[in-house]
Amino acid sequence: MARARAARLSGNRLHLQDGPIDLVIEAMGAASEVEAGYAAAARRFQTILDELCAELPILRLPIRPGNPMPEGVAARRMWHAAAPFAGAFITPMAAVAGAVAEEVLGAMTAAADIRRAYVNNGGDIALYLASGEQTHIGLVDRPDRPRIYGTVSIAASQPVRGVATSGWRGRSFSLGIADAVTVLAATAAGADAAATVIANAVDLPGHPAIRRQPARDRDPQSDLGAIPVTVAVGALTDGEVEAALASGLAAARDCIAEGLVAAAALHLAGRTVQTGLPLLHHAKAA
């Protein structure tokens, strides 16, 4: 309580912040229900960072046989969301943002009769849609330069309750060169992990214009350790951009085939490709 902060934003939205977590929350429904939901969200939020930090060493370990599983509810969400991708190196941290959003959304919708709601954790979003409801989401192609390039509409009947974006320009490290990969999936934690994996796959291994550095040289505590992460991407030819996107698209299609992802949009150097549910509507020139 001493640390976590809650504030109201315009449009009757709720902002919760603790350490590195920023949540922007909006719930729609009867005013008294919205208030009850916000109170429940704030209550749940108070301890979530401490819960995660208590298990941080475990959450930073790659998911593979022999490594322990975490115990906390939110930590388990992370683990389960990342586990399907454990064929390659992945830690539960790949799903932390989505899992936190999901956890707080769950507390809110369990406590109150909400029509629709979202919890936006720095771009990783958990959605709630009561039957018949739908929502619109603005998309940006580069997290560091927020500009809405298109929107998607998600209806309650569609199997999408999570949206996440990953890319090397974002807050977390990426092994790939995608400016942004946006994923729609059944859960926010699942979308978060999948976006990480697909963004990693948008890559041109060994390309001289791509500068990489061991993750631990940037952040001594990174769960990625000595694995090189992208720190700069120089000029690429059109053909190279196509090739990198094709590699990412293949990974995205695998995820869709396995039922982990509903749709994905991949961005690199101004080019966009997408796969899965045809959800995207382009915005008018911004």
Partner 1 sequence: MADGDVVRCDACPVTCYIKRGMAGACDRYANEEGRLVRVDPLVVLEHTVEAGEKVVPFLGAGNAEWNGEIVRGPSTFVTAIGAGTTYPDYKPAPFIVSSQVAGVDTVTVVTEGIFSYCGVKVKIDTDRHLGPERNLVRVDGEPIGHVTTGEYGSQMLSLGGVNHLTHGGKKEGRVTCDALLRLCNGEAVEVAVDDGATAILQAGKPPIINGKSEERMRVGCGSATIGMFAKQWYGKVDDVVVVDDHITGVLSEHQAGKVLGAKDTGIKIRGRKSTPGRYFHVAEPGSGWGGTNVTDPMEIVTGFDARHAWPGLRLLMVSTTGEQYAYYELDAALRPVEKDLPPNLQESVERIAENCEPALTTVLFMAGAGGSLRAGVTENPVRLTRSVRNAITRVTAGGAPVYVWPGGGITFMVDVTLLPSHAFGYVPTPALVAPIEFTLRLDDYAALGGHVDAVRPADEVLRDASLRQRRIAGAVR
- Give the binding site for partner 1 (CB under 8 A): 3, 5, 7, 9-11, 13, 15, 17-20, 22, 24, 26, 49-50, 53-54, 56, 118, 120, 122-123, 125, 127, 135-140, 142-148, 151, 163, 165, 169-171, 180, 217-221, 286
Q: How far is the CB of 49 from partner 1 (least distance, A)?
A: 6
> What is the Cα–Cα distance from 191 to 196, expressed in whole angstroms?
9
Q: Which is nearer to partner 1, 253 or 271 (CB)?
A: 271
Provide the 10 A C-beta neighbour count for residue 224: 23
Q: Which is nearer to partner 1, 65 or 220 (CB)?
A: 220
Question: Which DSSP string do the residues of 165-214 spell out, in sequence order?
Answer: EE-TTSSS--SS--SEEEEEESSHHHHHHHHHHHHHHS--TT-TTEEEEE
Q: Which is nearer to partner 1, 22 or 254 (CB)?
A: 22
- With both helix axes pointing from N to C terminus, report the angle between 73-82 and 96-111 in degrees, rounded to the nearest 10: 130
Q: How far is the CB of 40 from partner 1 (least distance, A)?
A: 19
> What is the Cα–Cα distance from 135 to 117, expressed in whole angstroms?
9
> What is the Cα–Cα distance from 166 to 27, expressed in whole angstroms?
25
Q: Which is nearer to partner 1, 47 or 243 (CB)?
A: 47
Q: How far is the CB of 65 from partner 1 (least distance, A)?
A: 28
Q: Which is nearer to partner 1, 154 or 251 (CB)?
A: 154
Q: How far is the CB of 179 from partner 1 (least distance, A)?
A: 11
Q: How far is the CB of 135 from partner 1 (least distance, A)?
A: 7
Residue type, 69: M
> What is the Cα–Cα distance from 189 to 181, expressed in whole angstroms?
15
Provide the 10 A C-beta neighbour count for residue 64: 12
Phi and psi at residue 19, to the nearest 5°: 50, -125
Cα atoms in the Cβ-side hemisphere of radius 13 Å centred on 11: 7
Q: Which is nearer to partner 1, 84 or 228 (CB)?
A: 228
Q: How far is the CB of 122 from partner 1 (least distance, A)?
A: 6
Phi and psi at residue 14, to the nearest 5°: -115, 135
